[in-house]
Every structure is written in structure tokens, then in C-alpha cells.
Structure 1
Amino acid sequence: MIRGVRGATTVVKNTENEIIGKTEELLRTMIVANQINATDVAQVLISVTADITACFPAKALRKFDGWEYVPVMCTKEIAVPNSLPSCIRVMMTVNTETQQKDVQHIYLHKAVTLRPDLVKSFSVDN
């Protein structure tokens, strides 16, 4: 079964270290919470708001062992008035037996305001 696993986070500064760090935190949490193996991932789409320009957040995934063959693409989020600024969103397409209602979508930092109905607390060992 193919499922989409969603996630979002925000950055405080438009710097490469901040963008990569927050994206890595988000991806790691998504992977652990959903027990995702790289070999089960069809693709990862990452969007950013227009104010994030210092680097491609996809660079964060390239730091993960075993993820070098997973296709990743970055894109710009549409500019909706009054939308959450400094936001990185992820859509990971995964082959899994997990039921749709049991997929753990991850929202961190100020992105918790996007889907408060789905926000849960997770801890990830780095």
C-alpha cells in the first residue's frame, strides 16, 4: 500500500545551518515515528515558503545513511496571504502496511498551528 506521510516545521533564521538542522529534525522524527526504511520510500517532496532561500532543505536527507537513492525534490510553496512564514513542508511517499488513520504526520515548532488535530509528541534520539 502506498501512503503519504506529511510533516512541517519552521525556521527562525534563513541560514543554511538552520534550514538543514530543522529539516533533519523533521525528517528524522517522521522516519522514527512511522518506522520508515529508505528502501520503502518512492519519493520525498519538500516545499518551502518564499522567505527560505539560503539552501535546498533536501541536503538534510543526504546526511542519512542509506537514503542516497531516494528521489528528493524541493519546490516553492504558493504564496497565500497570512499563511505561516518560514515554513518547510514534507510529503514522503512510502510503501507501508500501516493503515491511513495510523500514519503519524509530524508538525514541529510553529508548524503545529497547521494541523493541531494531528499534533502528537515524539522524541527522537539523534
Structure 2
Amino acid sequence: MRGLRGATTVEENTAQAIWAATQEVVSEMLKRNNVKTEDIGAAIFSATEDITAAFPASGARKLPGFDAVPLFDARQMDVEGAMEKCIRVLLLVDTDLKQREIKHVFLGKAANLRPDLANNK
């Protein structure tokens, strides 16, 4: 089992924006790592304090095949100076990829969190 990391940001605190951003980052994580939903053991989402309009996991649940994936939402710590309107994702997946072969996905302003991985395509 390996952990796939991803993060993205939203411009506005609306359910549609939260769901669309979540679906985009999760879909890209699966695509870049050639992962199918049946390979996912669990998905953990966290959101900053300023995201209150919807749960990111609700957006992921709308993706094909996610009806059987265990999903969990959490609140990120409110650290001074931290990125705003940020959604982070951790997928625990069964894969033959080595740790260094995993392609983590950072979209939007979240690319600033890990510039070393932002263009990890």
C-alpha cells in the first residue's frame, strides 16, 4: 500500500467550487498514477477553516466508482500564515509503484505547497 498526496485550492467557498476542485485533483491523482477506484483502500480529505460550504468527500463521492471507497473529511489546523481555501487529499492505494515513482498532484495555488512536486506529470 502507498500514499498518494494531492492538494488544490478554491477561489470561492461554494459547494460547487469545492466539489469541482476535489473531483479535479482526485481524478488527476488516479490518472497520473494509473490507479483504479477498486485499488483505493481509503481517501482522507482535509480542508482549511474557511471552507464551510461542503465536504470535499461529498464531491469525490460523485466520481464513478467512489460509491464503495471509504472517505473521511477532517479540518486542517488553523496555522497563522497558512494557505487559504485549501483542500488536501491522501489516497491509500494498492499499487506496485515504488515510493519514488508516485506522482503527487498539487493544483491551483496549492502548487506552492510543494513546488518540487507541482509539475509531477
CA distance in 2, matches of 1:30, 1:71: 17
Q: How does 1:87-102 map to 2 (within 5 A)?
A: 87-102=86-101
- The answer for the alignment partner of 2:65 in structure 1 is 66
Task: Answer yes or no: is 1:8 the counterpart of 2:42.
Answer: no
Q: How far off its partner does 1:42 sit?
A: 0.6
Q: How far off its partner does 1:67 sit?
A: 1.6
SS in 1 for 2:53: coil
CA distance in 2, matches of 1:92, 1:7: 8
Structure 1 runs (4+) greater than 6 angstroms displaced? none
Paired residues of 2:46 and 2:75 also in contact (CA < 8 A): yes
Q: Which amino acid aligns with 2:45?
A: I
TM-score normalized by the length of structure 2: 0.96
Q: How does 1:8-87 map to 2 (within 5 A)?
A: 8-87=7-86
Q: Is there any run of 5+ residues in structure 1 with no aligned partner, and where? A: none
Aligned residues: 121
Q: How far off its partner does 1:121 sit?
A: 6.0
SS in 2 for 1:60: helix
Q: CA RMSD in A?
A: 1.0
CA distance in 2, matches of 1:21, 1:121: 21
TM-score normalized by the length of structure 1: 0.93
Paired residues of 2:106 and 2:118 also in contact (CA < 8 A): yes
Once the two structures are superposed, residues 7-66 of structure 1 have per-residue CA deviations (whole angstroms, 9 ceiling, x without a partner) of: 000000000011011111111111101111111111000000000000111112212222
